[in-house]
Amino acid sequence: METQTRRVLVVAMVIAITLVASIPLLMLLGLAGDGTGWGACTEGLSGCQPSVLRAAKVAAFLLAGIFSIYGTVRLLLLLTRPR
């Protein structure tokens, strides 16, 4: 694989990691705008009774997404390393 193609793929993966990492910010912005925070608080911020388990689920989802994308980048770099 050519170096330029490799760079483009790595940049795309870094952008994907950034987008996944920005999900909590988007949830907070949704709550601040009288929304549901992507379903985190179904009745909005005033009627929200968050559970500890919900935060753990969101954190686990985000970490799994970030680490799977990171693993893909590492595998891509390993497989396309010049010999």
> What is the Cα–Cα distance from 10 to 42, expressed in whole angstroms?
37
What is the predicted pLDDT for the residue at 7? Answer: 82
> What is the Cα–Cα distance from 52 to 75, expressed in whole angstroms?
34
pTM of the model: 0.65
What is the predicted pLDDT for the residue at 15? Answer: 92
pLDDT averaged over 10-residue windows placed end to end, the chain, 83 residues: 78 88 83 74 72 79 89 84 73
The tally of domains found in the chain comes to: 1
Which residue bears the tokens 């992507």?
38
Structure tokens at 82: 């010049």
What is the predicted pLDDT for the residue at 1? Answer: 58
Query: Length of the chain in residues, anyone?
Result: 83
Which residue range(s) make up the domain with 20? Answer: 3-79
Q: Enumerate residues 6+ apart whose C-beta is below 8 A from 26.
A: 38
